[in-house]
Amino acid sequence: MNGMNSMEYGADGYMEQEEEWEREGLLDPAWEKQQKKTFTAWCNSHLRKAGTGIDSIEEDFRNGLKLMLLLEVISGETLPKPDRGKMRFHKIANVNKALDFIASKGVKLVSIGAEEIVDGNLKMTLGMIWTIILRFAIQDISVEEMTAKEGLLLWCQRKTAPYKNVNVQNFHLSFKDGLAFCALIHR
């Protein structure tokens, strides 16, 4: 999809992305469960550097504190001081600080607002984490002007190459049995 390269999704781009995910079967419950598990592991691999972690991706980012910490760890930058209150507006303020930071890096989050994250909306939280992964982990991959998706596929192929039972060819069928995910997490 052409909007993926610039990572700026307009309303049409978001709908096209969602339609593409549905065609590829990425929004089915089994895939969502696998995405949740994988994204949680990715977040924890970074949060461990700060001496913490998450158990539930849709619950543990609701107050914005661990989300802000994750962004600090992966970016190496300091975010504004978080609000420490426990009321909903404090949580929304913290998540907004995180979303504003993401936006300051040139990433436009369409249809993902602080309220959805604070409310524990799994689909929106996964979308936000995927966007963070694209911006902070994948965007830096550039091999002969590949798209981020192609670069990620190449990275997955390289990381899983030592595993004889893992053959990553795409992001759908190659990950269905879970071996590719296990290999990536093990590396």
pLDDT in tens, 103-142: 998 888 888 999 999 999 999 999 999 889 888 876 655 5
pLDDT at 10 over 80: no
In this predicted structure, the answer to whether residue 144 has a pLDDT above a threshold of 80 is no
Identify whether residues 89 and 158 lie together within a single domain.
Answer: no
Q: Is the model more confident about 147 or about 143?
A: 147
The answer on 164 and 72 residing in a single domain is no
1: pLDDT strictly greater than 50:
no
**Could you list the residue range(s) of the whole structural domain that residue 55 is in?**
2-140
Q: Please check whether residues 120 and 165 belong to one and the same domain.
A: no
Asked whether the predicted pLDDT for residue 42 surpasses 70, the reply is yes
User: Are 170 and 96 in the same domain?
Assistant: no
Question: Are both 89 and 38 inside the same structural domain?
Answer: yes
Instruction: Give the separation between CA 41 and CA 155, rounded to whole angstroms.
Output: 17
- 156 and 92 co-located in one domain: no
* pLDDT mean across residues, the chain: 84
Q: How many domains does the chain have?
A: 2
Q: From 105, 124, 140, give the residue that closes a domain.
A: 140
Distance CA 136, CA 46 (A): 12
| Cα–Cα distance measured from residue 181 to residue 160, given in angstroms and rounded to the nearest whole number | 9
Residue 83 makes CB contacts below 8 A (sequence gap 6+) with 90, 93, 94
What CATH code is carried by the domain that includes residue 49?
1.10.418.10
> Looking at the structure, do residues 150 and 85 belong to the same domain, yes or no?
no
- Tell me: do 125 and 173 sit in the same domain: no
Confidence (pLDDT) at 176: 85
